[in-house]
Amino acid sequence: MAPGISYPVEKGFGGGLILSFRGIGRRFASGVTALEAIDLDIARGEFLSLIGPSGCGKTTLLRIIAGLAEPSEGERRLSLTTDGSGHIPSGRVGFVFQDPTLMPWSTVIDNVLLPFRLAGRVGSAERERVREEIRAVGLDGFEGAYPRQLSGGMRMRVSIARALVTDPDLLLLDEPFAALDEITRIALNDDLLRLWEKRRATVVFVTHSVYESVYLSTRIAVMTARPGRIAADLSVELPQPRERTLRMSPSYAAICARVSNALEVAMARQSQ
């Protein structure tokens, strides 16, 4: 295994884009087409949600964006500060899985420190950065706790802190809150928004909740299954910063209805 993920990374290309996909497809060995003809441009600072029924390939698409899966066809470009080695530089892309995916044998602080440890940089500056990030996700006082001593929501916060600790340009989240209860989920939605507003990283967020996607995103891509395609691309014109009261507003409800409708149309077309 080569260190890092081989990927066409460039120093920067036009239009303030961070990512540009043309005709990306992915077929499994079984012959199933997971993704077909995906064209996707993501601008710097966008909060993009990928939404769709299960099996529509949104997780596969996210893994291709991260370089964890290879496309079978198409052209992909990623614009990051790069060393020109053709690899994603360590820590420029953060990934949060559906499960917290923590190392159970390590404390909170060692889990968040992992990206630095793997980059071979574990100095006092990095340790200070880790403490700061643990505070930012509201876990101060739990630095020495082990994952099993934490609730599901707290574990997810650790996972988010680990993804953010290297200040990534691109943050990828794969249904991170799907397994959490409603109250924890709403709290973490707000925390994620605050962290995004503060740093202006580009976020790609996979979810199957219409309400969550509208509340969080500046843009929503609706996907369909068999084959996985992007059926609709909607921009979410709601005021920034997002506040909790927004969830009660008519404009929020209107956009939710639009997204739900686009999802229904897409699924109806798919079942034909």
Partner 1 sequence: MSPRRISRLWRIAAPLAVGAFFLAVWEVAVWAENIPPYILPGPLAIVGSLWTDGPSLLGALLVTLRVTLAALAAAAVLGGAIAVVFSVSRILELSLFPYAVILQVTPIVAIAPLIIIWVREPFLALLVCAWIVAFFPIVANTTVGLNSADRNLLALFQLYGASPFQVLRYLKLPTALPYFLAGLRISGGLALIGAVVAEFVAGTGGAETGLAFRILEAGYRLAIPRLFAALFLLSLTGIVIYLVLDGLSRVLLRHWHESALEEGEE
Residues that bind partner 1 (CB under 8 A): 1, 3-5, 63, 66-68, 87-91, 93, 95, 97, 99, 101, 103-106, 114-115, 117-119, 146-148
Nearer to partner 1, 36 or 174 (CB): 174
Q: Which amino acid is residue 66, in one-letter code?
A: A
Nearer to partner 1, 47 or 95 (CB): 95
CA atoms 139, 141, 142, 144: torsion sign? positive
Nearer to partner 1, 139 or 232 (CB): 139
- DSSP label at residue 76: E
Nearer to partner 1, 151 or 235 (CB): 151
Find out whether 143 and 111 touch, Cβ atoms under 8 Å. Answer: no
- The SS3 of residue 57 is coil
**Nearest-angstrom CA–CA distance, 214 and 48:** 10
Nearer to partner 1, 11 or 148 (CB): 148
Closest approach, Cβ 94 to partner 1, in A, equals 8
- Residues, the chain: 272
Q: Is 43 left (phi over 0), alpha (psi -120 to 50) or beta?
A: beta
**Nearest-angstrom CA–CA distance, 208 and 50:** 8
Closest approach, Cβ 93 to partner 1, in A, equals 6
